[in-house]
Chain A
């Protein structure tokens, strides 16, 4: 049958535009030769930075990006992405299913974290102003994490990086100061940073361990109208 419709009768471009990778040869990312330049001179973290910002980082930028990634990386089994990935593994899901189940939650969590830290953009324009309460470190663990980051990287950190900041707030402030202003780039950094943590919880589980899963945690109570 020879059906016709708007697509047959329309005029369409025949090529998909590439903006990051030039297929080459040689393969290039944002203009940099992948093999003879990026592979030779940059770490994986720095190539990720290059992908998302469009420019290869300086040593100082790379260090700040590294700090942000480390601060954003912890993700325990208590949190929904890891929990979902563990459950998928216990259900006997194949690898892609485990990653997909945890991954979509991971991306959604990243989206929410980015939304919650949007106000930091305004604060960074004038970091001498009062920091909203929710961006302050609250627990001893948070203060320890930020304190350790300041001790290790203090010399390279911008002046706004103080021990008052919560770890995530410090990470987002660093990313924003590095030029990560688009929410998609920020969201992907958060997801990239915590992906391995999520997998680490699911990795050792097997379907045979399903009876070790606490089925009623957290507890649900079914309700219906009388």
Chain B
């Protein structure tokens, strides 16, 4: 006997569909944009247009679509035989649990949430540094920028938030306070994942929901689209001089030896 599975996602009706508690025809159509639906999709609140543009800003500032960057190269390899969706899906699946990239959004959001709960906002810098130290038992995601002194995407996002008068969120300020300490201690500036985590928490989106939002998909899509169009032979199979064998040297199996073959 099948047990009934409850769902709060959607219902197909006559003349109208329901989505997350709303009529598509009467409440969402013409009013809600992509990010409003995306936040609703992961069980969040109905964000308004002024919040949705912040998510637009995030997606734009996250643009780092250079196909040589590791996750983008996965997209290009996956799309090399001509499928856009294979490119997008491979990157999403590979990065879901990866040590780099947006998979860390949930972890950084959880870290900032824990930190804010344990650190009084008006504490001195010395007290803050001491209290932060208790949270630094492992590498903190969201801080540290490879190959360059600062993350140019954070600077772009900072400009957007300032222009929109949204640079005073409590998590945004907390992230910068952490950055100040980590810059001195480990030369680890705030990176875009940390910045996104702070901004999304300031939009009252939970860490679990943050970890599920389809951020950076436009980077993947751009590479998948171009990669699928190119069907690059060099990506389908690298030329031999690009490969360096470092494995086990030539040998014969026990069965080959037993047969007396040379």
B-chain residues with CB within 8 Å of residue A223 when the two chains form the complex: 6-8
Residue A122, interface by CB 8 Å: no
Is B162 part of the binding interface, using a Cβ–Cβ cutoff of 8 Å?
A: no
Q: Are A58 and B253 in contact (CB under 8 A)?
A: no
When the two chains form their complex, are residues A96 and B247 in contact, meaning their CB atoms are under 8 A apart?
no
User: Is the pair A42, B255 in contact by a Cβ cutoff of 8 Å?
Assistant: yes
Complex Cα distance A155/B4, Å?
47
Q: What size tier do the contact residues of chain B reach?
A: 35 or more
Report the Cα distance A222→B220, complex, angstroms: 33
B253 CB to nearest A CB, Å = 4
| A55 shortest CB reach to chain B, Å | 9
B244 engages A220 (CB within 8 Å): no
Which chain A residue lies CB-closest to B146? A6
A222 touching B10 in the complex, CB below 8 Å, given contacts A16-B243, A217-B2: yes
B245 and A18 contact, CB distance less than 8 A:
yes
Closest A residue to B3 using CB positions? A218
Interface members, chain A 48-97 (any B CB < 8 Å)? 54, 56, 58, 96
Chain B residues, Cβ within 8 Å of A6 = 147-148
Of the candidates B247, B250, B253, the one whose C-beta lies within 8 Å of that of A38 is B253
Using A17-B244, A217-B2 as known contacts, say yes or no to A31 and B8 having CB atoms under 8 A apart: no
- What's the minimum C-beta distance from B67 to chain A, rounded to whole angstroms? 10
With A15-B244, A224-B21 already in contact, the answer to whether A56 and B253 are too (CB < 8 A) is yes
A16 to B240, CA, bound (A): 10
The residue on A at minimum CB distance from B259 is A41
Residues of A close to B261: CB separation below 8 A? 36
- For B255, the closest partner residue in chain A by CB is A41
Type the 1/0 row for B1-22, where 1 means its CB is closer than 8 Å to any CB of A: 0111111111100000010110
Across the interface, B238 reaches (CB within 8 A) one of A16, A32, A42, A217, namely A16
B245–A40 touching, CB < 8 Å: no
B212 to chain A, nearest CB (A): 16
Q: Confirm or deny: A33 has a beta carbon within 8 angstroms of a beta carbon on chain B.
A: yes
Q: Of residues 2 to 37 in A, which have CB atoms within 8 Å of B's CB atoms?
A: 5-7, 10, 14-23, 28, 30-33, 36-37
Contact of B29 with A by CB under 8 A:
no
Answer whether A225 and B21 are a contact pair too, CB < 8 Å, given A14-B242, A219-B5: yes
Contact of A221 among B7, B10, B20, B86 (CB under 8 A): B7
Hey, which chain A residues are within 8 Å of B184, CB to CB?
Answer: none
Q: Which of B240, B248, B250 contacts A23 (CB 8 A)?
A: B240
Inside 8 A of A20's CB, which chain B residues have their CB?
Answer: 247
| Complex contact B6–A37 (CB within 8 A) | no
Please tell me if B99 contacts chain A, counting CB pairs below 8 Å. Answer: no
Contact in complex: A58, B89 (CB < 8 Å): no
Per a CB cutoff under 8 Å, which of B9, B20, B247, B256 touches A30? B247
B residues in contact with A207, CB < 8 Å: none
- B233 within 8 Å of A (CB atoms): no
Q: Is the CB of A40 within 8 A of B256?
A: yes
Q: Tell me which residues from 168 to 226 in chain A have a Cβ below 8 Å from any Cβ of chain B.
A: 217-225
CB distance B253 to A222 under 8 Å? no
Are B242 and A16 in contact, with the CB atoms below 8 A? yes
Query: What's the least CB distance linking A56 to chain B, in Å?
Result: 4
Nearest-neighbour CB distance to chain A for B4, whole angstroms, equals 5
Q: How far is the CA of A183 from the CA of B128 in the complex (A)?
A: 40
Residues of chain B lying within 8 A (CB to CB) of residue A222: 7-11, 18
CA distance A28 to B238 in the complex (A): 18
Q: State whether A31 and B248 are in contact (beta carbons under 8 Å apart), knowing that A23-B243, A220-B7, A221-B7 are contacts in the complex.
A: yes
Q: Tell me, yes or no, whether B56 is within 8 Å of chain A by CB.
A: no
> Given that A6-B148, A16-B238, A96-B86 are known contacts, is A54 also in contact with B248, CB under 8 Å in the complex?
yes
Q: A37 and B245: CB pair below 8 A?
A: no
Task: Choose among A30, A54, A100, A224 the residue with the greatest number of B CB atoms under 10 Å from its CB.
Answer: A224
Complex Cα spacing A159 to B139, Å: 44
Q: Given A32-B252, A56-B254, A223-B6, output 4 extra A-B contacts at Cβ < 8 Å.
A: A31-B247, A33-B252, A219-B2, A222-B8
- Sample of 17 A–B contacts (CB below 8 Å): A5-B66, A10-B147, A17-B244, A19-B247, A32-B251, A37-B256, A56-B254, A104-B93, A217-B2, A218-B5, A220-B5, A220-B6, A220-B7, A221-B4, A222-B9, A222-B10, A223-B7
Top 8 nearest A-B pairs (CB, nearest first) are A31-B248, A6-B147, A222-B11, A15-B244, A41-B255, A224-B21, A218-B2, A31-B251
